[in-house]
Structure 1
Amino acid sequence: MQGKVLIVTGALGALGKVVAETAQSRGARVAGIDHAPSQISATPERIEIGGVDLSEAAQAKTAVAVAARHFGKVDVLVNIAGGFAAETVGDGDVKTWQHMHALNLLTALNASHAALPHLAASTAGRIVNIGAMGALQAGSGMGPYAASKAGVHRLTEALASEWKGKVTVNAVLPSIIDTKANRADMPKADFAKWVTPQELTEVILFLASDAASGVTGALIPVGGRV
């Protein structure tokens, strides 16, 4: 990570915080983009850009431009921004499908589209997306979420093919991430089986590193012990 500039979307979330902090501790400079409102704060090593709706292409382009201007380059984009909703098809609403599509797929698409010119100018441009093991086969109530994350998988593959030799594009596919929110939602679950944010971060940062220069178009399950 030494000397690399990372953009991390969803940087104020449980996973985003760990990715940003770990990368920075290993010598990276980090631009954190998040939907949560906040003023732009900047140091030579870190810039926080809040209040950004990445499902809107113009906002994504502006936020990425701010980060690129601050650091003078962008080497890595980690698309973590997203969310979850469970709803059966029969009892649900099309709005949930639209919301999941915007939250999980459009955020990754718009951030990638905005970052690609900068990443292509890097000697080691990388995109790492967050897919989902649950999108490989949708269970009951998982339709809207699984469909949106399956879209992220296909986006990853398409970008990897289109930018081969210029930018590597991969995705990690977690099972259930061990976060406070997930523990509160599933208090009777065996938390020891879940993948931790730090475990997931290690795979993300490997894919962002020079060591992963030969890996592109991969969908890598990181399921913990589920």
Structure 2
Amino acid sequence: MSGKVVVVTGGFGSLGRVVARAFADNGDRVARLDIAPAAPDTLSVGLDLPGLDLTDEPGVAAAVARIEADLGGIDVLVNIAGGFTWETVADGSLAAWERMFATNLRSTVTITRAALPAIRRSQAGRVINLGAEGALKADTGFAPYAASKAGIHKLTEALAAELAGSSVTVNAILPSTIDTPVNRADMPDADFSTWVTPQAIADVILFLASKQGRAISGALLPVSRGGD
């Protein structure tokens, strides 16, 4: 899969940086998109687009046009951008629901719609979404987050069916708790060894983006084993 153009949303975050680096190390050109105003590091090959609101259709369209102009197309879209909130239904707010659907679901739909024409022109287009194991059976306080992630699961299945006659595959990975600095700070008493590492997630994503993953589409793949 050397030489593909890969777009990673949420590319400046803990998971996004590891995924982007894995593709770059594989010989691919990577465009990292993020709402953060600046990238925390650099990649030797590719493009960084900071300050991008993925719910803004004109802004996303302009970003996709820039990627196509600078890198020559789009082969793989990895939708990592998103967020989390913990609120009960009884004591939470409607604003939390709106924020989760915008941050997790609308952002994914907006960039996917904008990038889809370029991905369909690829010989082996891939869309890989970040769902959540916690959206399969939501726990207390997970309702807004889990509902928005369940929307990504259904988006994945529907788009895979829509593109069944093409060479494009559409899949979602469903991680359990990801071992990131933020999660460790939020849950200091947890057993970190049971959490899934960003590198393990990156390995699964690279497989789905590879020729070896060409026969898999419409899958919701749990990624829940701890360690590397």
TM-score, normalised by the number of residues in structure 2: 0.95
The answer on 1:51 being equivalent to 2:51 is yes
In the aligned structure 2, how far is the partner of 1:152 from the partner of 1:180? 25
Q: Which residue of 1 aligns with 2:209?
A: 208
Letter in 2 for 1:84: F
Deviations 1:20-61 (A, max 9, x none): 01110111000000001139x998821000110001222221
In structure 2, the partner of 1:31 is: 31
Q: Could you list the per-position Cα deviations for residues 159-203 of structure 1 after superposition, in whole angstroms to 9, with x for gaps in the alignment? A: 101111321000000000000000000000000000000000000
**What SS class does the counterpart of residue 221 from structure 1 fall into?**
strand
After superposition, the Cα gap between the structure-2 partners of 1:78 and 1:203, relative to the gap in structure 1 and judged at 3 Å, is same
Match of 1:199 in 2: 200
Code of the aligned partner of 2:175: P
Query: Where does residue 165 of structure 2 map in the other structure?
Result: 165
| Cα distance in 1 between the residues matched to 2:35 and 2:198 | 20
* Counterpart secondary structure, 2:106: helix
Distance in 2 (CA, whole Å) between partners of 1:16 and 1:88 is 28
RMSD (Å) for aligned C-alpha atoms: 1.7
Partner of 1:103: 103
SS at match of 1:155: helix
Q: Secondary structure at the match of 1:15?
A: helix
Report what 1:138 is aligned to: 138
- Relative to 1, partners in 2 of residues 1:72 and 1:19: Cα closer, same or farther, differing over 3 Å? same
The question of whether the paired residues in 1 share the 8 Å contact of 2:3 and 2:27 is answered with yes
For 1:176, the equivalent position in structure 2 comes to 177
User: For residue 188 of structure 2, what is the aligned residue in structure 1?
Assistant: 187
Gaps of 5+ in 2: none
Alignment of 1:72-83 (within 5 A): 72-83=72-83
Provide closer, same or farther for how the CA distance between residues 44 and 22 of structure 1 changes in structure 2, counting only shifts above 3 A. closer
Q: In structure 2, how many angstroms separate the alpha carbons of the residues matched to 1:64 and 1:35?
A: 15
Question: Which ranges of structure 1 fall in alignment gaps of 5 or more residues?
Answer: none
Larger mean Cα displacement after TM superposition, 132-141 or 41-50: 41-50
Identity within the alignment, %: 52
**CA, structure 1 residues 18+44, in 2 after alignment: closer, same or farther (shift >3 Å)?**
closer
Matches of 1:161 and 1:52 in 2, distance apart? 29
Mapped to 1, the partners of 2:198 and 2:146 lie a distance apart of: 20
- TM normalised by structure 1 equals 0.96
Q: Secondary structure at the match of 1:161?
A: helix
Q: How many residues in Structure 1 have an aligned counterpart in Structure 2?
A: 225
Decide whether aligned partners of structure 1 residues 143 and 43 sit closer, same or farther in structure 2, where only a CA change above 3 A counts. Answer: closer
